[in-house]
Amino acid sequence: TQLLEQSPQFLSIQEGENLTVYCNSSSVFSSLQWYRQEPGEGPVLLVTVVTGGEVKKLKRLTFQFGDARKDSSLHITAAQPGDTGLYLCAGALQISGSRLTFGEGTQLTVNP
């Protein structure tokens, strides 16, 4: 059983479209992070959310942490080809200390 369910697994859209990626769990997380990973590279941290209901914006990216701290979403406005990559959510459980649990990832392709 996957602790963090991420959807969709694959997403192919045209430049300029909007999209949302979801990360869901039945567990409560003390914090949740979103990463972007390009082929052959390590994940790069985009944002960390720690407060239930928190919304953070990073240019065209909007991240939301659910009120109950069990889920999160990433919304991209007017996607560009440079947004192409693997998006990973990762959560830290309160009982697991510093360990991160990753979702399966969303492979996003933005076509020109």
Partner 1 sequence: DAMVIQNPRYQVTQFGKPVTLSCSQTLNHNVMYWYQQKSSQAPKLLFHYYDKDFNNEADTPDNFQSRRPNTSFCFLDIRSPGLGDAAMYLCATSRGGFGYTFGSGTRLTVV
How far is it, in rounded angstroms, from Cα 29 to Cα 99? 11
Give the strand pairing for 10-14 and 106-111. parallel
| Contact status, residue 47 vs residue 34, Cβ threshold 8 Å | yes
Question: Is residue 85 near partner 1 by the rule CB under 8 A?
Answer: no
Question: Is residue 46 near partner 1 by the rule CB under 8 A?
Answer: no
Question: Is residue 7 near partner 1 by the rule CB under 8 A?
Answer: no
Question: Is residue 58 near partner 1 by the rule CB under 8 A?
Answer: no
Question: Is residue 112 near partner 1 by the rule CB under 8 A?
Answer: no
Which residue from 59, 95, 97, 112 is in contact with partner 1, where contact means CB under 8 A? 97
Q: Which of 55, 39, 44 is nearest to 90 (CA)?
A: 44
Footprint on this chain of partner 1 (rule: CB under 8 A): 31, 33, 35, 40-45, 48, 88, 90, 92, 97-105, 107
